[in-house]
Structure 1
Amino acid sequence: MASYELSDSDRRFQSISVVGAIEQQAPYTLNVGYWVRDPNQLIEYPAPVSSNPRQDFLWEQTCFEIFIGVQNEDFYREINLSPSEAWQVYQFEEYRYPESMPPLTADDIELNQLKRMHYGLNVSLDLTEFMLKHKLKWSDLFIGLTAVLKTSQGERFYAMQHSGQQADFHNKRDWLHTF
């Protein structure tokens, strides 16, 4: 299991810490955990929902995200995971394209489990259809972990790395995990 300290796009903001951990399970299961430390209870969480519905615009509230890129390819997936236990998967052909809002949903990644835990969030995803359809091995993938946190002090944007002046979760340079 690999873990990453996610950083806020405003490096001066130190009130909340987020760690993401990634684990692959054979043959096509991806497990990700987010550990959140918020001693001042600044984060505003959405109300819980039942039965893990797929919903759009989850990033408008506190939301954790997983980006899945493919080596030497333009297409990628964005997975949104809400602490409410709602989720969604979007497909992009290349950087932020198509530009429709909400983005086009993808049905080639399935949810095994999504749970809000006392420490943060835990998710298990089935990548079988995505990987088989595109003839992918784990070594073909690279992953970006991000979080949009709604707080009493405004929106916070956490990622493995911020290579630009502004937070841009679709920037593949900032997706650091490889298998």
Structure 2
Amino acid sequence: MLRLEPHPSQRRPPGLELQVRLSRSPESLSVCFQLHDPRGLVRLPAPVSHPERREGLWRRTCFELFLAREGSSGYRELNLSPAGHWNLFHFEGYRQPGRVSWSPAELPFRCRPTADGYTLELVLPLRPLELHHVGLELGVCAVLSAHDGECGHWALCHPDPGKPDFHLRRGFALTLAAVPQDEAEL
């Protein structure tokens, strides 16, 4: 498990932890976010019966993944809401919208409460994103909204200590090598 940290300009609420586990095959990336929130500080939206692609998910509690082909300036951004809504963005460079290589009608992932928090699990197909069989650079992050209205920005790496910016390429701090056959796990 890898541990995400709040942005340096934001405080860590006591007891709150966010971890991620990733495993990769040649064709997919499995992601499991585990939120440990024994005091119930994070506001989680209620699950919906018909999840859909939605804009603005990052304004509330949202788990995010940034994926890039190793050495490329282009990247993909995936937003996952605990309600079940999701979105997928394509960028040619830093915040520069790019051509859409894949626009799925649905993106199934599993969300469930745990004894002391919450778990979100996804198996992301890499072929439609044109990211299969290549080395990946990943930014793993989340926006956590508290019941008091505060938002925390959590990531494996925060390259700008002044303000949170998940799009900064230096924040894609995790590299996963291309996997020809065997599965690699972190």
For the superposition of Structure 1 and Structure 2, which TM-score range results when normalised by the shorter chain?
0.7 to 0.9
Match of 1:17 in 2: 17
Say if 1:4 and 1:21, in contact at 8 Å, map to a contact too.
Answer: yes
- 1:1-53 deviation per Cα after TM superposition (whole angstroms, max 9, x unaligned): xx31000004642431100111113x311110001011211111112122431
Relative to structure 1, is the Cα distance of residues 107 and 114 closer, same or farther in structure 2, using a 3 angstrom cutoff?
Answer: farther
Paired letter, 1:97: Q
Q: Within 1, Cα distance between the matches of 2:60 and 2:99?
A: 19
- 1:32-88 deviation per Cα after TM superposition (whole angstroms, max 9, x unaligned): 000101121111111212243111111111100000012221110000000001111
Relative to structure 1, is the Cα distance of residues 81 and 67 closer, same or farther in structure 2, using a 3 angstrom cutoff?
Answer: same
Match of 1:7 in 2: 5
48-57 or 60-69, which moves further after superposition?
48-57
How far 1:97 sits from its partner (Å)? Answer: 1.2
Match of 2:170 in 1: 173
- 1:115-162 deviation per Cα after TM superposition (whole angstroms, max 9, x unaligned): 112232111111112227xxx5232x1111100011024000000011
How far 1:105 sits from its partner (Å)? Answer: 8.4
How far 1:90 sits from its partner (Å)? Answer: 0.4
TM-score, normalization by structure 2: 0.81
Relative to structure 1, is the Cα distance of residues 52 and 64 closer, same or farther in structure 2, using a 3 angstrom cutoff?
Answer: same
Say if 1:7 and 1:18, in contact at 8 Å, map to a contact too.
Answer: yes
Say if 1:45 and 1:62, in contact at 8 Å, map to a contact too.
Answer: yes
TM-score, normalization by structure 1: 0.84
CA RMSD of aligned residues (A): 2.1
Paired letter, 1:149: L
Q: Which has the higher contact order (CA 8 A, sep 6+)?
A: 2
Percent identity of the aligned residues?
Answer: 31
**Structure 2 portions without partners, runs of 5+:** 177-186
Q: Within 2, Cα distance between the matches of 1:65 and 1:105?
A: 20
Instruction: Tell me how many residue pairs correspond in the alignment.
Output: 167
Paired letter, 1:46: P
Which of 151, 166, 172 is equivalent to 2:146? 151
Relative to structure 1, is the Cα distance of residues 105 and 66 closer, same or farther in structure 2, using a 3 angstrom cutoff?
Answer: farther
Relative to structure 1, is the Cα distance of residues 66 and 45 closer, same or farther in structure 2, using a 3 angstrom cutoff?
Answer: same
Say if 1:69 and 1:172, in contact at 8 Å, map to a contact too.
Answer: no
Paired letter, 2:141: T
Q: Within 2, Cα distance between the matches of 1:58 and 1:105?
A: 21
Does the residue aligned with 1:93 lie in a helix, a strand or coil?
strand
Q: Within 2, Cα distance between the matches of 1:109 and 1:115?
A: 20
Match of 2:120 in 1: 121
